[in-house]
Amino acid sequence: MGHTLKNQKSLLTRVRRIKGQAASLETALTSGEECLKVLQQVAAVRGAVNGLMSELLEGHIREHLMNEETTPQARSDDMEAIVAVIRSYLK
């Protein structure tokens, strides 16, 4: 996947942000933080994961589906795979 290498710095920054937010969530839970603060941490983690997913999806679509060299069959197969990933992600 060439687009993940091109965007590696940005993607790794997002992953590290997610790790930090997940660690903060764990700390909030183990230290007995108020429910609202825990909910805010969960929302932050979710937002960060959504941002990562969005960036990866956009890169994949631009690199693979919009590539003029991609055959119609390969494009169709890739689209089905993307739909399956999105369905799984939204569950």
pLDDT reported for residue 7: 85
Chain segment 4-54, per-residue pLDDT in tens: 788 899 999 999 999 999 999 999 999 999 999 999 999 999 999 999 999
Give the length of the chain: 91
pLDDT reported for residue 67: 87
Both tokens assigned to 17: 């942000």
pLDDT reported for residue 3: 72
Domains and CATH numbers, the chain: 2-90 (1.20.58.1000)
Q: What's the rounded Cα separation, in Å, for the pair 77 and 90?
A: 20
pLDDT reported for residue 5: 80
pLDDT reported for residue 64: 86
